[in-house]
Chain A
């Protein structure tokens, strides 16, 4: 219980910090009124907008109002779109989750398959090849990879669309682009974990009992699942909150990453504020859930900490 409570408190502290940073970062970046209005807008117009946005109030009052709005899930109206920001964020977020979800599924399958194959014959040709491929996939910039895949499959072969949405075919290239680097990392980590696991006594016992190879590997995979799960969880967070920006831009995928770049270009500070706050809170909640999942999978996660505290 101490573990869960501790993680909850930490999560709330991080969410609070994110909201403070979001609030003050926007104001440090300059007067939002200057960002919104044309250069030659009159002082009366500026004052009126300041009043409408509540920027004429003391900073602490503004912050209290901001927190109150956040609690009510009111992220304000986008001044550029003239519509509430939250529905736009949610719509785009759904697209990103779809893309990241498929990418993670592909990455897990590819990573585990390559990792297991490599671990079965350490030092063998397949092992060396898979390690090399994994390192290449990790090292290749996604921006470049995306453009190369577009040139090959859309421009060269003409079998897949280069960008956009609308059908399953539109997801293939962005999913592969987003999946390859994490697949490489999963492969390296699962190979290492399974190689080590395969040298343990209980595996020797499995083999001595004449269990088929797939059951032995199944046992090894189960034993390494917590460590692999940890990597998968955090990889998904990084992909969702960071890497998707680049891939969505290259493939014109209408997700949260593309929304960020669009909003920056349009100087839509309300939308940027909404995206940052939403993603920040989402990442914290997801991390919390992952921690709880590890705790459920391996209660020793909390024992160490509890022991250390006592």
Chain B
């Protein structure tokens, strides 16, 4: 009985404990739900607050990184240029179809003698702080940017400028070392900033249609239209550029309506966004061979075999979703001066490729491919495709991923040259001279070929301003590059792709930079 009684008490105690436990569980559940409710309601109410603060006249644009500074002369990264192109202007710039047009200059430059270009400046232009834009301001900008001490990222593109002279208040002469037919294009890389702000990297005072209103260095920069702008008043009064590094986050911001335009849209995300557009400008993908004696790729038959082994149509269609085009002849894209539509090509023929490798006695020869997987989209996938293709024709292929500066050192021959290094390059001048001189000229660190015939032709092509003569010279050069396979051209692809919301009306220009003055709301 006693035992039974104890058991009963114990049972009651357990039941009471269970009730207490249920009460506790209920309280815990309540606590959890209450916490989540507070968190979400706080979030929702704050979101409403943001919406209320949001200005429907402000366009939101997501770029892929923050701005290191607002010095127009130093950085060169695309996300920085995306913002700078609204604040700063150049003497000349490229229109949507790739034509060079005057911007802060009043007209196209006049070549008064070899190595001397006369530039007439637009009058009535002021910087955002009220300083006048005149010959003195232009000279100060050109001198500062071409000074190696400034360490401008674009220095290599303007290095042929040897001096600048004042003619009158609105006329200057720009001097170059010898004849430089692309000098006007070079001037499109010199952005003009108020000389009084040269020592203040955070001032951001230009002459553009928008001036800096607020800059939260870590997250966004807001621009408002400049009242005294020399040109037409832009349709959109303000733009907020937000810095979203992660591509998926940029897409989400567009889909949720937080921004209207996103830069750097991946081909994989094109179907997810309301609208997207490519730049008309191209980037070319090439495999740069080491043609020195003693390595497998030193034999032109092996290089031809490698070309025949690549199924470049498959690469263009499968890896780029059809947005890329197979390159013929040389890594010169359609739309660049010097492009030759009739240049030869190497058809996909793996059997012929294997025969060529055998003929060259290169079966089992080592081919190391250096690439930087994180440098450009699809470069890793292309490299893996090439590894398989070239292994199939009898070469002993080895992949070597070299990130960052290691890749640069290898490209420039500072580190041991591999048989192949993968490259993707744009052409800022849209002129064959830039790419050919970098990757095909024997004087360049990026190639090991020492072909005097090709060097002579390329030198002649930049020493004449006769358009027909230049075209003919580049056709000859491309024929040599193709026949001797001094580079293995693969595909060209749009250099940039942007995503847009339904409310934006904008046709991206040549580089697809988000120039807000060219945008409007529907």
Binding site for B on A (CB under 8 A): 29-30, 34-42, 44-45, 48-49, 78-83, 88, 91-92, 95, 106, 109-110, 113, 116-117, 120-121, 126, 147, 150-151, 154-155, 158-172, 175-176, 207, 212-214, 217, 249-252, 254, 258-259, 261-262, 265-268
Contacts and interface: CB of A to CB of B under 8 A. Distances in A.
A167 to B, nearest CB: 4
Given A41-B151, A155-B252, A169 B66 contact: no
Contacts of A82: 68-69, 71, 74, 201
Interface string B36-62: 000110111111011000000000000
Contacts of A110: 32, 35
B212 interface: no
Nearest to B244: A252
19 contacts: A29-B405, A34-B408, A37-B151, A40-B156, A41-B148, A82-B69, A120-B21, A147-B249, A154-B252, A159-B40, A161-B256, A162-B258, A164-B219, A167-B50, A169-B49, A214-B24, A217-B24, A254-B219, A262-B65
B152 interface: yes
A113 B245 CA distance: 36
Contact of B404 (A126, A150, A162, A267): A267
Interface of B: 17, 20-21, 23-25, 28, 31-32, 35, 39-40, 42-47, 49-50, 65-66, 68-69, 71, 74-75, 77, 148-149, 151-156, 159, 201-202, 216-220, 242-246, 248-249, 252-253, 255-258, 404-406, 408-409, 412
B372 to A, nearest CB: 13
Nearest to A42: B148
A295 to B, nearest CB: 32
B412 A39 contact: yes
B297 to A, nearest CB: 23
A49 B256 contact: no
Contact of A169 (B32, B50, B152, B244): B50
Q: Is the interface of A mostly helix, strand, loop or mixed?
A: helix
Contacts of B77: 265-266
Given A35-B405, A38-B151, A250-B246, A158 B40 contact: no
Contacts of A34: 405, 408-409
A165 B219 contact: yes
Contacts of A265: 65, 77, 245
Nearest to B253: A162
Contact of B242 (A151, A158, A164): A164
Contacts of B20: 212-213
B219 A169 contact: no
Contacts of B149: 45, 48
Given A169-B46, A250-B246, A39 B408 contact: yes
Given A45-B148, A91-B218, A167-B49, A161 B25 contact: no
Given A162-B258, A167-B46, A167-B50, A36 B252 contact: no
Contacts of A164: 219-220, 242, 244, 258
A212 B17 CA distance: 9
Contacts of B23: 213
A145 to B, nearest CB: 12
Given A45-B149, A126-B25, A213-B17, A249 B246 contact: yes
A82 B24 CA distance: 58
A110 B39 CA distance: 13
B474 to A, nearest CB: 23
B142 to A, nearest CB: 17
Given A113-B28, A169-B46, A40 B155 contact: yes
A183 B432 CA distance: 58
B255 A166 contact: no
B42 A172 contact: yes
A113 B29 CA distance: 9
B148 A150 contact: no
Nearest to A172: B43
B252 A113 contact: no
B233 to A, nearest CB: 29
Given A91-B218, A159-B44, A172-B42, 4 more contacts: A42-B148, A83-B201, A161-B258, A166-B219
A161 B148 contact: no
Contact of A163 (B74, B217, B253, B404): B253
A116 B408 CA distance: 56
